[in-house]
Amino acid sequence: MTYTYEVLCEKLLAKDYKLTPQRETILRAFTEHGDSHLSAEDVYHLVKSKSPEIGLATVYRTVDLFAELGILQKMDFGDGRSRYEFTKQEEHHHHHLICINCHKVQEFDDDLLETLEAMIARKNSFKIVDHDLKFYGICLSCQEQT
């Protein structure tokens, strides 16, 4: 899923936020690197080349805003910094396989977790609104290297 300029514009104005060049630039950084899970620092360096005057604080404020608007999803891979990617629009969430050797992160879809979630919710009287599933292990290319 890639968010366009128009979608951003619409979402911003709906909440009386302004459409600034910085916000547009940061959105583009994500459309051009849709497959990575960018940290604020990553975004900062990506946009710095095109807009050298941009500040790191603006990047932090902007990715926070985008997350609030539902454009980005904040995630944590345990490396001490938050990472962001476009919110997936499909019915089923996707999750992450994190290689403990090369630290590459790949995605996978799951259908089964929905069933699991319903059972957990019932057994624990817990009203689930979101979930986060990560598998740690060795990716295929690291397996082949040995």
Interaction site with a copy of itself (CB under 8 A): 76, 78, 97, 99-100, 106, 108, 110, 112-113, 115-117, 119-121, 123-140, 143
Binding partner of residue 112 among a copy of itself, DNA, none, CB under 5 to 8 Å per kind? a copy of itself
Looking at residue 140, the DSSP 8-state letter turns out to be: H
β-sheet with 38-39: strand ranges across: 38-39, 82-86, 72-76
Handedness of CA 101, 103, 106, 108 (dihedral sign): positive
**Residue indicated by tokens 């709906």:** 14
Site pattern 79..118 for DNA (x: CB under 7 A): -xxx------------------------------------
Cβ closest to DNA, residue 75 vs residue 138: 75
For 110, half-sphere exposure in the C-beta direction (CA atoms, 13 angstrom radius) is 17
In the bound complex, what is the minimum distance in angstroms from residue 11's beta carbon to a copy of itself?
22
CA distance 78 to 96: 12
Applying CB under 7 A, the residues found at the interface with DNA are: 12-13, 16-23, 39-41, 51, 53-58, 60-62, 64, 80-82
